[in-house]
Structure 1
């Protein structure tokens, strides 16, 4: 059997090396199959119509597992020098210099990154042409260790009700790991400091409403059994896991957007969808209503001020 295959992706042909290499083992006790490099390529090609709109124009951090998830993990910011010229890069400022990130614009890039054993794609909340101005705001609902997922579902309901009061649209997403993300599309006319301050104020009000269940305490020892409302991803050069990307866990769970009404599904948990059924979920277009221009935070900030008194 050849150690290399060629895959057609749009106008390009991409070589895939060691296609039978297992990247993610099957879950213990059955209930799924191992994910090979060829399987990751096939998933990326199938999910591309839904994944690419979430990636285009955004700097990426690449989570690579060359020897599978049981081997070393590499969190890669700088694009490797050997990457082909047709893969877009963007140079952005960092403390003391710059970083050249990959920007994924097409299916061929997705296939190439899969060949590089890039399992998970982490995206910036801003775009390459305006890196200091986020157009996404993320609330990370991080459950307490050992907590039932009902804690997360309830917190998502609480947050959704508050965002409704603020008249902000949002999309819910499993993380493929522990909790859920709530993603708010915003206009991109404020800097990260102002956006994070707004998110912090929202989280603090929510924790004040439900102090027995929710907290904004950054230190784990201060949280007890309460769910942590994490807004720290809303900062320059920070990233959040991209919708429809695969996580490095047995069974290859996917960070999957879902409709708000699915929140009450008893089968819902952080790893509800995998590479086996995520494309089917994507075809339901759960975030269809979020495709328009993001909201300005000005009116929401005034409403928040009124709620806080």
Structure 2
């Protein structure tokens, strides 16, 4: 059992293997995962607090079939708060939200390895405060991640040109997310339209490198500038979430100079290295909330370039 003031999280099978031994590292157990989320809470909570969560649970570890859980269940403790969201059919779903380390530890005790958040917060779920470009490699060759790195840098430069701050994170799987914090004044449709037009501008500038084609057979080896997560009800892997992949990689916020380094790999940060990393440098997303910008000026600048 772990205690967090007046809250407590009990669990069994602490030694159950969630991540088998990998590349010379010992296995990661259920207890290790729970303690990870307890210990990472200080860095993680500023980026997830008050956002609807979608959980990806693996109660028997990564070698079993996992599943997504959107709705907070009745057996969740009352102190794990919920936020209600309206589905397209008019029904309501209650998502868990995380406010404290106890919340993250409890979710981990259920076998949650991966935590996803909405791009909007509980104050107004229909008005996002994050704009996201999801960049995955266009192929599987050794240079595929270099294409993603250069794409992220070009997206950063375009956002800067439009007056928006850009932040980046390893997804912990194959690619990178470039995130612009925005003032939550516009609905998802308008934000996605802006992201689509920005992606089209970048693709028009470098048509041999980038595409906005959703169909894979039309991409012809170019990097897809995916902005489709900018929609109501969509979610993205949370900063500092584990990923259910060998070695227990972490979705890790990066500094831009790390993206410029050709030695960067998509799973460079893991459960074993993330705390040493945070001990050596501040969270690269620490200033994100203070750097939100309105899309109004950015849209005018974008329209002048189209």
Report TM bin, short chain: over 0.9
The alpha carbon displacement at 1:268 in A equals 1.1
The alpha carbon displacement at 1:17 in A equals 1.6
Contact 1:257 1:282 in 2 (8 A): no
Determine which structure has the larger strand proportion and give its number.
1
Which residue pairs with 1:3 in the alignment? none
Contact 1:47 1:282 in 2 (8 A): no
> Which of 197, 200, 219 is residue 196 of structure 2 equivalent to?
200
Which residue pairs with 1:75 in the alignment? 68
* Aligned residue runs from structure 1 range 111-260, under 5 A: 111-147=105-141, 148=143, 149-260=145-256
The alpha carbon displacement at 1:263 in A equals 1.1
Change (3 A) 1:153 1:306: same
Structure 1 residue 34 corresponds to structure 2 residue 32: no
- Specify the SS of the correspondent of 2:75: coil
Contact 2:165 2:291 in 1 (8 A): no
Which residue pairs with 2:295 in the alignment? 297
Structure 1 residue 63 corresponds to structure 2 residue 59: no
TM score, norm. by length of structure 2? 0.95
Q: How far apart, CA to CA, are the structure 2 residues paired with 1:88 and 1:152? A: 37
Deviations 1:52-107 (A, max 9, x none): 11111100000001111111211101111111111001111002201010001111
Which residue pairs with 2:20 in the alignment? 25
Deviations 1:186-214 (A, max 9, x none): 00000000000000011111111111111
TM score, norm. by length of structure 1? 0.94
Bigger mean CA offset, 282-291 vs 148-157: 282-291
Q: How far apart, CA to CA, are the structure 1 residues paired with 2:222 and 2:291? A: 34
- Specify the SS of the correspondent of 1:197: helix
- Specify the SS of the correspondent of 1:120: strand
- Specify the SS of the correspondent of 1:132: coil
Q: How far apart, CA to CA, are the structure 1 residues paired with 2:28 and 2:260? A: 29
What CA RMSD, in Å, does the superposition of the two structures yield over aligned residues?
1.3
- Specify the SS of the correspondent of 2:95: strand
- Specify the SS of the correspondent of 1:16: coil
Q: How far apart, CA to CA, are the structure 1 residues paired with 2:24 and 2:163? A: 41
Q: Which runs of 5+ in 2 are unaligned?
A: none
Change (3 A) 1:161 1:74: same
Change (3 A) 1:224 1:33: farther
Which residue pairs with 2:9 in the alignment? 14
The alpha carbon displacement at 1:280 in A equals 2.9
The alpha carbon displacement at 1:31 in A equals 4.0
Bigger mean CA offset, 143-152 vs 298-307: 143-152
The alpha carbon displacement at 1:32 in A equals 2.8
- Specify the SS of the correspondent of 2:127: strand
- Specify the SS of the correspondent of 2:11: strand
Bigger mean CA offset, 10-19 vs 195-204: 10-19
